[in-house]
Amino acid sequence: MKPSNFKYQLLFICSIGLFSATFAQNQPTSLKEAFKNDFLVGTALGAEHILEKDAKANQLIKKEFNAITPENHMKSMNIHPEWNKYDFYLGDKFVEYGQKNNMYVVGHTLVWHSQLPRFVGKIKSADSLKLFMTDHINTVAGRYAGKINSWDVVNEAIEDDGTFRKSIFYNLLGEDFIKMAFDLAAKADPKAELYYNDYNNEQPAKRKATIEMIKKLKASGTKIDGVGIQGHWSINSLNTKNIEDAIIEYAALGLKVAFTELDLTVLPNPWDLKGADVNQNFENSPKMNPYPKELPDSVQTTLAQKYEELFKVFLKHQDKIDRITFWGVADNHSWLNGWPVRGRTNYPLLFDRNFEPKKAYNSVMNLKKNNPNL
């Protein structure tokens, strides 16, 4: 070999090595980094996360996510257990957690028909219910004014067929309770973004009704900044066309779109349940709990493929989407282990029970690693 040729080959090899090292250094190492130019990536926190009781979970949350939602502790049953009593301990800790870690903080939720304090169920008059709503929203949203980035103001007010849910709020106040809630929230915390949040609101009938409701709110001068699509879906029936249509139609109203409670169940659903009605529960059986110990590799692959399909849609419309929040940190912290069948073992998230990334995590991350211009 001639010395000159050897020199050029050595330079070529060194150049390849330098390029590979630089490429590796430039690859994103977390969800929040990978999608930093597209949308926020969040997770729902339980009390154990807020209080930092698990070091591995805490490390994962801080590494991967830049937005947080309280799973349960800001719902009225917990934060307002009695008419003249509030419990702000976990709410305060939650907000502190977000602030010290420079995270986008979501308040969830101000008005919801479920997980209400017992005393609310005993209310019989419209005036008393208005008094509760006024005091609750003024007190809770007012306490965190300037510290919460967005509120899920009203949660799940519309049924799948497009009619209003016959909740205590609707039965006593009619659909005006929605406007009332948003107006109170806007006054209590003028800086917070205000969202309407629901499940199945990507499906045509419910989407149409939601759009009509939002148009009425906006026409009346009520402040509403965004719509939250919960995203409790199944790997067996994921409909990306409905999801994409919903993104486009909600954004056309001048609203931000967020996917607020994302998870994909891998378990059978013989009742064809959709969404997230927490009052539904059914008997467990081996047939309904096929993976009690671990998820087969074939199902891991399907889950990864479905998450990849979803995130391709999200990236296509990243200009319209503000946030993607997973409903849980890891598989051990998922409400789907107990719904709609108690005692099942589900695997709906990107991290397993040991807080390790799954194939689904890699499929989502590879969208950006392999296509940085997406």
Residues with catalytic annotation?
156, 261
d(CA 214, CA 118): 30
Alpha-carbon distance of 323 to 108, in angstroms, equals 15
Distance (Å) of CA 6 to CA 10, 11, 20: 6, 9, 21
Tell me the C-alpha to C-alpha distance, in Å, between residue 125 and each of 156, 166, 169, 170.
22, 15, 10, 12
Based on C-alpha coordinates, what's the Rg of the chain? 23
3 state DSSP class of 31: helix
Kindly state the tokens that stand for 75. 């719902």
Question: How far apart are the C-alpha atoms of 209 and 165, rounded to whole Å?
Answer: 12
The two tokens of residue 135 are 């005091």
CA distances from 151 to 71, 140, 268 (A): 13, 11, 33
Which residues lie below 8 Å from residue 65, measured CB to CB, with a gap of 6+? 31, 32, 41, 42, 43, 103
β-pair partners for 106: 150
Q: Are 246 and 216 in contact (CB under 8 A)?
A: no
The widest CA-to-CA distance across the chain, in whole angstroms, is 97
Cα–Cα distance between 328 and 143 in angstroms, integer? 26
Q: Which amino acid is at 57?
A: A
Residue written as tokens 């502790």? 73
Q: Which amino acid is at 280?
A: Q
Q: What secondary structure letter does DSSP report for 373?
A: T
Other CB atoms within a 10 A radius of the CB of residue 298 amount to: 8
Q: Which residues pair with 196 in a beta bridge?
A: 154, 227
